[in-house]
Amino acid sequence: MLIIFPRLWTDYFYMGFKNLSPPNTFNTKLFYMEPQIFCQSCTLPLDNVDDRGTEKDGTKSEMYCKYCYQNGAFTDPDMTLDQMMDIADTEMKKQQLPENIIRQSMDMLPRLKRWQPVSAEV
């Protein structure tokens, strides 16, 4: 299951579209909510194909980023959710992302595919 979220106005601002009108004025770019796919391990946006990890056959992963997943396996298979939350929080703060964006990512992490319990088939 891929989690797809619409882009927020702040996403456009932080992506460098600083010349857009404020959200209270009419601007078609702001009203078009482009879906965004996130890494199902760390929440990194996967819109850029170069940010995607690789499967065993070398194809780009549709679910995981290059930092979490390479050659069909997790780069750190023993990592816990708490460890991932610490790393993601630290990296987002280094990028000076707004606190609300960091909090949203932290809230989303436990719901991602990698962190879901694996059900035993009988």
Residue with the bigger pLDDT between 11 and 106: it is 106
Determine the pLDDT at residue 121: 63
Does some domain include residue 17? yes
Structurally, how many domains does the chain consist of? 1
Q: What percent of the chain has pLDDT over 70?
A: 69
Does some domain include residue 122? no
Does some domain include residue 121? no
Q: What band does 120 get if pLDDT is binned at 50, 70 and 90?
A: low
Does some domain include residue 100? yes
Q: At residue 4, does pLDDT exceed 50?
A: no
Q: At residue 96, does pLDDT exceed 50?
A: yes
Does some domain include residue 62? yes
- What are the pLDDT digits (tens) for 18-55? 444 444 444 444 444 455 789 999 999 999 999 999 99
Does some domain include residue 120? no
Is the CA virtual torsion 65, 69, 72, 78 positive or negative?
A: negative
In the DSSP assignment, the letter for residue 27 is: -
Does some domain include residue 109? yes
Does some domain include residue 91? yes
Token pair for 16: 């460098």
- What are the pLDDT digits (tens) for 70-91? 999 999 999 999 999 999 999 9
**What domain range includes position 107?**
4-115
Question: Could you tell me how many helices (H) and strands (E) the chain has, helices first?
Answer: 4, 6
Determine the pLDDT at residue 34: 54
Lowest mean pLDDT among 14-18, 54-58, 108-112: 14-18
